[in-house]
């Protein structure tokens, strides 16, 4: 039997890169996966391909920075799937430039997706998980939330904030059997990565997805509250 058979999962930012990899990995373990992204056409194309491979996947358009979109997304999932067991807050946006060159719109945009989106999604999901007796909330943060980087002030700030949010929320919801897991990747070979690193020693989206699967399939008595994921070589 697959380890997540019958579980229901939402993955935000699910149309490409790490989010797409996480969605596919959860579905291969038997989960019913809802991939959420802002671009309706892109998410449709992704889910068509996954369903052709026999995976139980749906795509829904949603901008996680918008409260109405989040409420519509979660309500749809509860209505059609009957519950929500796993939430992966993966949607993220980064602008990498000196502070004096960054626009207010760019700064606000990162906070809207990277933190406001996490808050809105978590706030919407927790009541349903409490009612069901438990669940898993996975936040995809970054090693940029632990290590400052040149030209990364805005992005790093959102990821430092995410780790603080996740740690505090973990203490609030663990008594309801809801595990809060924060995964902090370093360089990953995706279109988003700023390192430009490629090759056999650079983690792939599938490696981040493997960490998510590892955490959410752990025995219920254990919680891996934070996982760092680094390249094997500098």
Are 113 and 91 in contact by the 8 Å Cβ rule? The answer is yes
Terminal-residue alpha carbon distance, the chain:
38
> 5 is written with which tokens?
């058979």
**Annotated catalytic residue: which of 112, 155, 178, 215?**
155
**pLDDT tens digits, one per residue of 167-176:** 999 999 999 9
What is the average per-residue pLDDT within 182-190?
A: 90
Question: Is 155 among the residues known to form the active site?
Answer: yes
**pLDDT tens digits, one per residue of 74-112:** 999 999 999 999 999 999 999 999 999 999 999 999 999
pLDDT at 188 (0 to 100): 92
**pLDDT tens digits, one per residue of 132-158:** 999 999 999 999 999 999 999 999 999
**pLDDT tens digits, one per residue of 108-132:** 999 999 999 999 999 999 999 999 9
């Amino acid at each position: 039997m697959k380890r997540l058979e019958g579980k229901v999962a939402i993955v935000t930012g699910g149309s490409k890169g790490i989010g797409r990899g996480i969605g596919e990995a959860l579905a291969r373990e038997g989960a019913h996966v809802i991939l959420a992204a802002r671009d309706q056409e892109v998410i449709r194309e992704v889910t068509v391909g996954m369903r052709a491979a026999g995976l139980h996947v749906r795509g829904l358009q949603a901008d996680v920075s918008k409260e109405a979109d989040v409420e519509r997304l979660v309500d749809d999932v509860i209505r059609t799937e009957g519950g929500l067991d796993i939430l992966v807050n993966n949607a993220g946006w980064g602008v990498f430039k000196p502070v004096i060159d960054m626009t207010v719109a760019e700064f606000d945009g990162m906070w809207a997706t990277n933190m406001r989106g996490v808050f809105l999604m978590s706030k919407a999901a927790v009541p349903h998980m409490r009612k069901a007796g438990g669940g898993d909330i996975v936040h995809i943060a970054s090693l940029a939330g632990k290590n400052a980087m040149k030209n990364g002030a805005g992005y790093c700030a959102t990821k430092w904030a995410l780790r603080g949010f996740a740690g505090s929320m973990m203490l609030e919801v663990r008594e309801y059997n809801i595990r809060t897991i924060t995964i902090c990747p370093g360089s990953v070979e995706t279109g988003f990565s700023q390192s430009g690193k490629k090759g056999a020693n650079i983690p792939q989206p599938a490696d981040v997805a493997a960490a998510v699967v590892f955490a959410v399939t752990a025995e219920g008595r254990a919680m891996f509250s934070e996982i760092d994921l680094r390249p094997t070589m500098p």
